[in-house]
Amino acid sequence: MENTVKPLMVPWDFTPVAEYALEHAVKIAKIDDNPVYLVHIANKKSEVHKLKGVLDANAAGAFDRYNLKPATIVRSGTIFTTLGEIADEIDAEMVIMGTHGIKGMQKLTGSWALKVIVSSKVPFVIVQSPPEDTSFQNIVLPIDFRKEDKEKINWIVYTYKHFNSKIHIIKSQKTDKRLLKSLNNNILFARKILDQKNVEYDIITAPGKSSFARETLDYATQIKADLMVIMTTKNIGLADYVLGADEQYIIANTAKIPVMCLNPRVGITTGGFAAMGG
């Protein structure tokens, strides 16, 4: 992850939010000269050739605007599986996807919950608006009491090294002794890794007067965060992932802060937003 420059993938549905996602991708690509792919999923095979021409024209326009010409892929299929397949095929660093806030997230709920975001091992960065800065200067990392997933900390180190970010850890408020012990263990683990990598960070405790999701977002808004990092939820006993109400609340946040969604590794059981420490 640190030594290989991998592509950034942008799902493209010919809407303004797709353009926002491309703007974020360009911002990231200019750090390491990542290639960028625009990917469109056609409903029918008969539409692929025509839409490829339209997408190529969009890529040419992107070159005029950003001096960066994305590669293009058009394939028939469904966004719930095909996007993930393509991300795996091109060995994407991450997928940067635009959404229309709560309205857009309604398409990702119910029986199809999170099938887009968890369709591959590649992290998804969900955006709702153009980037306001040239870098992810302030990143909010919520940590709770459940088992820590090292992959999450690895990505925090990645963003720090690439963007010289400051990491703001917000930990949940716990009074139960058992949960507090687990929470403190997660904090110690995070400290150890971040200290070893010389990552700049601070730690605050959520007030505990509201839900952890709401207090995380309030804090992120207060410090004008450029990114929040969360884990998706692994359904115990099931072979897929789900999107909890708190995760939907964060991803579709009204402050329009970008959210990086990481999927637990196969075989590691975690909670969702309540277990964002992993």
The pTM of the full predicted model, rounded to 2 decimals, is: 0.85
pLDDT value, residue 48? 96
pLDDT value, residue 118? 66
Task: Convert the pLDDT of each residue in 56-104 to its tens digit.
Answer: 999 999 999 999 999 999 999 988 788 889 999 999 999 999 886 444 4
pLDDT value, residue 51? 96
Other CB atoms within a 10 A radius of the CB of residue 147 amount to 16
- 8-127 and 138-275, same CATH topology: yes
Round to whole Å and give the CA distance between 185 and 192.
11
pLDDT value, residue 246? 76
Regions in the chain scoring below 50 on pLDDT: 1-2, 101-113, 236-241, 266-278
Domain residue spans of the chain: 8-127, 138-275
Round to whole Å and give the CA distance between 8 and 95.
6
CB 201 within 8 A of CB 168: yes
pLDDT value, residue 272? 41
What is 229-270 written as a DSSP string? EEEPEEPTTSSSEE--HHHHHHHT-TT---EEEEPPPTT---
CATH architecture label of 138-275 = 3-Layer(aba) Sandwich (3.40)
pLDDT value, residue 207? 94
Pick from 277, 275, 272: nearest CA to 235? 272
pLDDT value, residue 100? 63
Q: Which two tokens stand for residue 83?
A: 């996007």
Q: Among 3.40.710.10, 3.40.50.720, 3.40.50.10490, 3.40.50.620, name the CATH number for the domain at 8-127.
A: 3.40.50.620
pLDDT value, residue 258? 93
